[in-house]
Structure 1
Amino acid sequence: MAETLLEIDGVETCYGLSQVLFGLSLKVQSGEMVALMGRNGMGKTTTIRSIMGMTGARAGTIRFAGEQVRSLPSYKIAKLGIGLVPEGRQIFPNLTVYENLVAASGNRQGASDPWTIEKIHALFPRLAERGNNMGVTLSGGEQQMLAIGRALMTNPKLLILDEATEGLAPLIREEIWNCLSMLKGRGQSVLVIDKNVANLSRIADRHYIIERGRTVWTGTSEQLIAEPDLQHRYLGI
């Protein structure tokens, strides 16, 4: 049986007096790709912020690799082995592509096959071409590639992508999906937020749908595809 890498149980998170998550629960097993889905404003990004300690949960448990992380600061959670590709990319605009990648490099988890600049360039050849360009000069698609590469350079046990392909051109979106498919083939554990049900169903093992800060459905890709009414009700498809 696969090890439970990330486990969230009964999490409640607020912004001031406004509560966003109401007893949210989900799990990611080692080597599994899990999709977190739902309409805009339903708590997906808040879930990621709660996992990473950027917005502290007021109740519930968040365990990563068996350790309770709910009360830990963000940098300690990241050092345990979580690589985040945040919404909006948030690359370092005044560093070059190469400097962005090197700034995040590390092998804190003792990875047997660690990520290197060369491997990131093989994954995204465009980053090799733009190596000396400042981050601020990149297109949105190039910035997303860089954000993914930067997260991978930390050799994460779990890679989290918030809005993996939002706002990207179709060809770039396809390149990102191909990248995620390759990462799954490598056994990389991934938690991904996106709206593309077709691509998520193709590569994700399981899906969670949240509505108003609560988990309302979980199941496999086959189950999600078989329930178009569910997609219409909770995803607006």
Structure 2
Amino acid sequence: MADAAPLLEIDSIETCYGLSQVLFGLSLSIRRGEMVSLMGRNGMGKTTTIRSIMGLTPARAGAIRFAGTEVRSLPSYRIAKLGIGLVPEGRQIFPNLTVRENLVAAAANRLGSPDPWSLEKIHALFPRLAERGSNMGNQLSGGEQQMLAIGRALMTNPHLLILDEATEGLAPLIREEIWNCLSMLKARGQSILVIDKNVEHLSRICDRHYIIERGRTVWSGTSAQLTAKPDLQHRYLGI
């Protein structure tokens, strides 16, 4: 059950790349134990929102609070240390490290989780990673790389897990495995922010949704509210 207090709260942020503004007063929030989706067509600001949260492309205005701390002006490594694990678009695993080395490279239990993630638990979640433990990162399939990126983020024992394009470009069977993994993580009480295009799966497992259009939040609501509005999906998601 999600806690009422926001774990992540974004309030009216504005973010630019040079002179080009991408986010215009965007707001959203995630409570502890909640799974929230961020949806919108390509180029509408989803990845920029993630980059703003992580301090990779700092917002020039507004507020970003995580676990009660204002993080908008903090460097990325400090934001990550507060307890955010990122599974970035394109996976960005370390190609010249083995699967095992990728998993242990950033492993930490800085937040003192009583039941921290370990190699054994990641292997139980994704048995294929155990089988491929000595393979280099660049020897994995796209699906295996996505599993590795999720496992690497979980090994930091984050309060919040963020996935940018969770199943983009993956084979159908692998997609199902990723969705099953996210359902299991949610059942464990993991807070999750996910970007993906599969409205059906998102509606099934997420608590709430945000849709953005040209850098602004244009709709937010529950899964029941989203599925009841096919016109909304057609207008903003092209479905």
| TM-score higher than 0.5 | yes
What are the residue-to-residue correspondences of 1:47-58 with 2, within 5 Å? 47-58=49-60
Whole-angstrom distance in 1 between the partners of 2:37 and 2:162: 10
Query: Cα offset for 1:104?
Result: 1.6
Letter of the structure 1 residue corresponding to residue 121 of structure 2: K
What are the residue-to-residue correspondences of 1:44-123 with 2, within 5 Å? 44-123=46-125
Deviations 1:14-56 (A, max 9, x none): 0000000000000000000000000000000000000000001
Q: In the alignment, does 2:224 pair up with 1:218? A: no
Whole-angstrom distance in 1 between the partners of 2:114 and 2:74: 27
Q: In the alignment, does 2:18 pair up with 1:33? A: no
Q: In the alignment, does 2:129 pair up with 1:127? A: yes
Whole-angstrom distance in 1 between the partners of 2:228 and 2:124: 36
Q: Which secondary structure state, in structure 2, belongs to the residue aligned with residue 57 of structure 1?
A: coil
Q: In the alignment, does 2:152 pair up with 1:147? A: no
Q: How large is the Cα RMSD of the aligned pairs?
A: 0.5
Paired residue for 2:186?
184
Letter of the structure 2 residue corresponding to residue 203 of structure 1: I
Unmatched tracts of structure 1, length 5 or more: none
Deviations 1:73-95 (A, max 9, x none): 00000000000000000000000
Paired residue for 2:170?
168
Query: Cα offset for 1:119?
Result: 0.3
Whole-angstrom distance in 2 between the partners of 1:57 and 1:6: 15
Query: Cα offset for 1:108?
Result: 0.6
Q: Which secondary structure state, in structure 1, belongs to the residue aligned with residue 200 of structure 2?
A: helix
Letter of the structure 2 residue corresponding to residue 144 of structure 1: Q
Query: Cα offset for 1:3?
Result: 2.3
Deviations 1:183-215 (A, max 9, x none): 000000000000000000000000000000000
Query: Cα offset for 1:112?
Result: 1.1
Paired residue for 2:10?
8
Letter of the structure 2 residue corresponding to residue 96 of structure 1: T
Letter of the structure 2 residue corresponding to residue 84 of structure 1: L
Letter of the structure 2 residue corresponding to residue 3 of structure 1: A
Whole-angstrom distance in 2 between the partners of 1:27 and 1:193: 14
Q: Which secondary structure state, in structure 2, belongs to the residue aligned with residue 99 of structure 1?
A: helix
Q: Which moved more, 1:103-112 or 1:20-29?
A: 103-112
Deviations 1:129-181 (A, max 9, x none): 00000001100000000000000000000000000000000000000000000
Deviations 1:96-116 (A, max 9, x none): 000000102100110011000
State the percentage of identical aligned residues. 84
Q: In the alignment, does 2:194 pair up with 1:197? A: no
Whole-angstrom distance in 1 between the partners of 2:106 and 2:237: 35
Q: Give the number of aligned pairs.
A: 237
Q: Which secondary structure state, in structure 2, belongs to the residue aligned with residue 49 of structure 1?
A: helix
Letter of the structure 1 residue corresponding to residue 141 of structure 2: S
